[in-house]
Amino acid sequence: MSQLQQFCRSRISWGLLLLSAIGLELAALFFQYGMDLAPCVMCIYIRVAVLGIFLAGLIGMLQPEVWFLRLVGMVGWAISAVWGLQLAYELNDMQVNPSPFATCSFYPEFPSFMPLDTWLPSVFSPTGMCSDSPWSWLSVSMAQWMMVGFAVYCVIWLLMLLPALKPAR
């Protein structure tokens, strides 16, 4: 078995995915409460995509040797990373090309069986506007950094796909 296959079947690989998502969620909360930056509804949706990556890492970490759990983790990871990339792209477009006709909602639209904004409003309730871009680092906005982050998640997922799903010999 190759070293990459062994790495995909280890708790360390899935734990790193989980820790990266925890880091992003903590950074979001720091920006919100430490730097007093109000998250918009798209920012909240991006948090949910990161939460999906967190859950994928957690599922993969449970039993990384079990093929089915790795598959579920990989599918969750892919869906969350692609959805997050799409959300970050849309948010960046709203910020770079502001238009009175292209605005985001003031209220998140979560499914009725999972009203995250009701369950945990301190994390999932938007208070800002999507067209605002109050923070940047190295002339790159937060939405653009999230595009980079989700693109990295997608590339790593592609590198891990075949080794993770290939049966052990």
In this structure, the dihedral spanned by the alpha carbons of residues 55, 48, 163 and 158, taken in order and rounded to 10 degrees, is 180
Query: Do 40 and 130 contact (CB within 8 A), yes or no?
Result: yes
d(CA 17, CA 64): 13
Contacts of 47 (CB under 8 A, 6+ apart): 25, 28, 39, 123, 124
Q: Which of 8, 9, 70, 104 is catalytic?
A: 104
Q: Which of 9, 47, 70, 169 is catalytic?
A: 47
3-class secondary-structure state, position 102: strand
Question: Catalytic: 130?
Answer: yes
Question: Catalytic: 8?
Answer: no
d(CA 40, CA 137): 19
Q: Which of 40, 70, 154, 169 is catalytic?
A: 40
CA 86 to chain centre: 11
User: What single-letter DSSP state applies at residue 33?
Assistant: I
Question: Catalytic: 154?
Answer: no
Q: Which of 8, 9, 70, 130 is catalytic?
A: 130
Residues noted as catalytic: 40, 43, 47, 104, 130
